[in-house]
Amino acid sequence: MKNRRALPFIALTLVLVLALGVGLSTAATSTISQDEIKKIVETTTDKEKIQSPLLDVAKTAMESVVGVNNYQSRGSGNFGFDFNFGFGYRNPQPFDNSPRIRGTGSGVVVSPYGHVLTNQHVVDGGEKLTVTFGDKELDATLISSDKDLDLAVLLVPGLELPAAPMGDSDALQIGEYAVVIGNPLGTRFERSVTLGVVSSVARTFTSSGRDRFGLRTNNENQMIQVDAAISSGNSGGGMFNTLGQLQGVPTLKFDSNFFTQTSVDNIGMCIPINVAKPMIKAALEQYDALDVADVAAQNKAAADETAPATNPNTPRMGVRILTLPGTYLPVAQGILPQGAYVSEVDPKSPAEAAGMQPGDIIVEASGEVIQNADQLVSIISRQKADDTVSIKVYRVPGLDGVLEDAEKIAELEKGEYIDLSVTLRIIENAAGN
């Protein structure tokens, strides 16, 4: 009887022992072994097995894409405005005349000789232009530009990057891949690759363009529409096909600001490469390897000649001038051209004798388009007494005295271009140019 009474206690004890044993066993296997961790974490990827038609494009085409920097002096503005396009920079020192980066864009190397294709609006108004890639920055010379097409060709001596092969944009097909490579927001996102498709191969785009002096004109161009991401700073970069061929130049995108209360996504426009080929061909035809060093030297000399001459023996026109910058509202709207504004004409001066008047805007001197006052000063300072300089001005009746009133300027009648011949001479006690 005593043994029978003890059986339940013995059974309970066995159950407790078994349960405890199970618990100990479970506790012993609750951690993960190092072998298991290595199996989960220490993985590899065989890159050779990754299949994508875009890999070779990204690896090769991006080596031909560069950044383009536009340097300008704030002091040339005199209105407190700042140059800004795409991705722009603001100068926190408003009275510092030294050239600083006012904006950046992108470009594509199109020849083994250092020719770079970009947008004209990327280089517009630049006193100094450079291209960047990695940690390098090289001086660039503007060879040709066309505001109507929004294209420009730079020459960069010493640029040792592969040239992108050009395709035939007339062979583009709706639905094929469009690979866009550029520098959105500057060097921080250098050579970013975005992907989309060609949405249209011939989208008629009417825009308000400018003549060679900045006056507004209406342009109608055929554009390639893509849905690849095009951000500020991508302008001038490359749109490539899956063969790695340059097929277009990204130039603008639509966003919700274009249409009131309308949402717009993934509409970008690229200039067909076939449109740029004549300009590139002309740049190659005029290339002379022996002259490259001279071109670079001239470019540097022009950049150094930005301060007004103080030599009393320097001939002058006898005018006071200031710059109408690209960001001055009437210039930005194309109502007035960019150039050197004549605020005063000295009595009995060469300028007065030639018929120049206060309110005239000097847009060309000695065949060179004038984009700022310092550029004009540089041209005049290289002349001798009794030299005759051809000057083209844009004259708007009533402009003198209302320059700071944009509304009044918009109400003035359209002006006209006038050609003048100014015979320079030395003017004693001259304070102007």
Q: What is the pLDDT of residue 13?
A: 59
305-423 is classed in which CATH architecture?
A: Roll (2.30)
Gap between the Cα atoms of 358 and 413, Å rounded: 17
Measured CA to CA in angstroms, residue 343 lies from 5, 175, 340, 373 at distances of: 122, 55, 9, 12
**255, pLDDT greater than 70:** no
pLDDT single digits (tens) 142-171: 888 888 888 999 999 889 899 999 999 999
Is residue 337 predicted with pLDDT exceeding 70? Answer: yes
Q: Which residue has the higher pLDDT, 82 or 336?
A: 336
CATH classification code of 57-304: 2.40.10.120
- pLDDT at residue 225 greater than cutoff 80: yes
Run of H or E including 108:
strand 100-109
Predicted pLDDT of residue 265: 72
Residues with Cβ within 8 Å of residue 115, at least 6 apart in sequence: 109, 143, 153, 154, 155, 156, 163, 280, 283, 284, 287
**Contact indicator for 406, 159 with CB cutoff of 8 Å:** no
Please, are residues 94 and 69 in contact by the beta-carbon 8 Å criterion? no
Q: What pLDDT shows up at residue 308?
A: 42
Whole-angstrom Cα distance, residue 128 to residue 162? 24
Longest pairwise C-alpha distance within the chain:
143
pLDDT of amino acid 35: 92
Give the Cα separation of 183 and 196 in Å (integer). 17
At 43, give phi and psi (nearest 5°): -110, 165
Q: Residue 294 above 70 pLDDT?
A: no
Report pLDDT for 21: 54
- Rounded to whole angstroms, the Cα distance separating 431 from 433 reads 7
pLDDT of 302 higher than 60: no
Helix, strand, or coil (residue 22): helix
Each residue of 305-322: pLDDT tens digit?
A: 444 444 556 788 999 998
Q: What percent of the chain has a predicted confidence (pLDDT) above 90?
A: 37
- Spatial separation of the C-alpha atoms in residues 262 and 279, rounded to whole Å: 37
Lowest mean pLDDT among 20-24, 40-44, 161-165, 341-345: 20-24
Residues 6+ apart with CB under 8 A from 29: none
Domains 57-304 and 305-423 share a fold: no
What's the confidence (pLDDT) of residue 259?
45
Confidence of residue 73 (pLDDT cuts 50, 70, 90): confident
Give the three-class secondary structure for 9. Answer: helix
Quote the CA–CA distance of 414 and 38 in Å, as a whole number.
77
Neighbours of 309 (CB within 10 A): 16
In which element (H, E) is residue 67 found? strand 65-72
The tens digit of pLDDT for each residue in 267-282 reads: 889 999 999 999 999 8
Structural element, H or E, at residue 290: helix 289-304
State pLDDT tens for residues 121-140.
899 888 889 999 988 999 99
* Pick from 203-212, 334-343, 415-424: least confident: 203-212
pLDDT at 8: 58
DSSP string over 165-231: PB--GGG--TTSEEEEEE-TTGGGGTTEEEEEEEEEEEEEEEEEEE-TTS-EEEEEEEEEEE-S---
Q: Given pLDDT bands bounded at 50, 70 and 90, which one contains residue 14?
A: low
Q: Which of 229, 149, 147, 152 is nearest to 184 (CA)?
A: 229
3-state SS of 259-288?
A: CCCCCCCCEEEEEEHHHHHHHHHHHHHCCC
pLDDT at 79: 35
pLDDT: is 265 or 267 the higher one? 267
Task: Give the position of tokens 């250092």.
Answer: 114
In angstroms, the Cα distances linking 206 to 100, 122, 151, 217 are: 33, 20, 16, 11
pLDDT digits (tens, 9 = 90+) for 379-427: 888 888 889 999 999 999 999 888 878 778 888 988 999 999 999 988 7
The residue type found at 185 is L
pLDDT of residue 280: 93
- Sketch the domain layout of the chain as residue ranges: 2-41, 57-304, 305-423
- What type of residue is 380? I
- CA dist 21 and 198 (Å) reads 69
User: Across the chain, what does the average pLDDT equal?
Assistant: 80
